[in-house]
Amino acid sequence: MAQQEYQLDRERFSCSICLDLLKDPVTIPCGHSYCMDCVKSFWDGEDQKGIYSCPQCRKTFIPRPVLEKNSMLADLLEDLKKTGLQAAPADHCYAGPEDVACDVCSGRKLKAIKSCLFCLASYCEKHLQPHYESPAFKKHQLVEPSKNLQQNICSRHDEVMKIFCRTDQKLICYRCSVDEHKGHDTVSAAAERTERQRELLLCRHKLTKRSSDVKQQIRSQQETMVSRVIDLQEKLEQEITELKRRDAELYMLLETKDDNHFLLNYPSLSDVIESVKLTSINIRPLTHFEDVTAAVSELRDKLQDILMDKHLKQSL
């Protein structure tokens, strides 16, 4: 158990670029921390693109963030080192089935921390050092560990494809550019990626704006619908009040003992009732309006029954 806790602590405070304990730790805007020199070197390799990314979460930043030492994390690491966190467990850096293994290691291979597009090989921290220290490797391009390095090689000329042909929309090597792609619109692969990355960022911005616009339209439509429903409710309630008033008048007329009063008032009331027009309900009733519409329907049926009864009495 103590060994497991030891390994977890070391992994938590290790730089994911060099896989060692953090040295002069810095925390970038996305929240991940690295050795200052490691992330500087990593971003130096992205200067040509003008877009800087986090090696872990791949979040991008424009412009290049200013790095400042995380003093609190640095102090914590100093305390941890004093408790014996300096040495990593024996199998800490060995490659597993899902990892990219170092091509130089013999026997049990360590995890690769970088792949070289020029060498078409992947290297662990130890075997990568010559790429950082020797001028002979200065122009080599290091990328994140990859198992598919061969896809970067031109199948015809067996050279690394560092050029993008915009005419044919494909990656090509230098010999291709002066041979079958001569005269075509060509740029460096890095330049093409930068351009397409800008297009993707712009596309994401447009998608985000479109999403915001749609949400606003939905909110606006909801507000309009609620306003229409409130207006409809008010109209229906007014109609209920009016129908109740007229119903009371009819009831009083039916109860009168004065034949003349009944006959004198019947025609005018009959005309008024005949002219009653209920509000057309175009909005689908919501649950809490069901009682309102039911009440209106009930009063309408009641008035029709009264009229029918009156006509029957009159005909007798």
Task: Give dist(CA 164, CA 111) in Å, integer.
Answer: 31
Find out whether 153 and 120 touch, Cβ atoms under 8 Å: yes
Cα–Cα distances (Å) from 12 to 64, 67, 80, 85, in that order, read 25, 20, 12, 11
* Pairing of the two strands 52-53 and 142-143: unpaired
303 pLDDT above the threshold of 80: no
Condensed to tens digits (0 to 9), the pLDDT of residues 212-271 reads: 888 888 888 888 888 888 888 888 888 888 888 877 877 887 888 877 777 777 665 556
Once rounded to an integer, what is the mean pLDDT over residues 50-79?
86
Q: Where are the domains of the chain?
A: 1-92, 226-315
Q: How confident is the model at residue 278 (pLDDT cuts 50, 70, 90)?
A: low
The reported pTM is 0.38
For residue 301, the model assigns a pLDDT of 64
For residue 8, the model assigns a pLDDT of 43
For residue 106, the model assigns a pLDDT of 80
Condensed to tens digits (0 to 9), the pLDDT of residues 108-143 reads: 889 999 998 888 899 998 899 999 888 888 888 888
Q: Which of 4-13, 33-42, 250-259 has the lowest mean pLDDT?
A: 4-13
Condensed to tens digits (0 to 9), the pLDDT of residues 136-193 reads: 888 888 888 988 888 888 888 888 888 999 999 999 999 999 989 999 999 998 889 8
For residue 114, the model assigns a pLDDT of 92
Find out whether 13 and 22 touch, Cβ atoms under 8 Å: yes
Find out whether 30 and 54 touch, Cβ atoms under 8 Å: yes
Task: Give dist(CA 152, CA 150) in Å, integer.
Answer: 5
For residue 314, the model assigns a pLDDT of 47
Mean residue pLDDT across the chain: 78
Residue 14 backbone dihedrals phi, psi, to 5 degrees = -105, 150
Task: Give dist(CA 84, CA 3) in Å, integer.
Answer: 12
**pLDDT greater at residue 315 or residue 52:** 52
Class of domain 1-92: alpha beta
For CA atoms 156, 161, 165, 169, the dihedral sign is positive
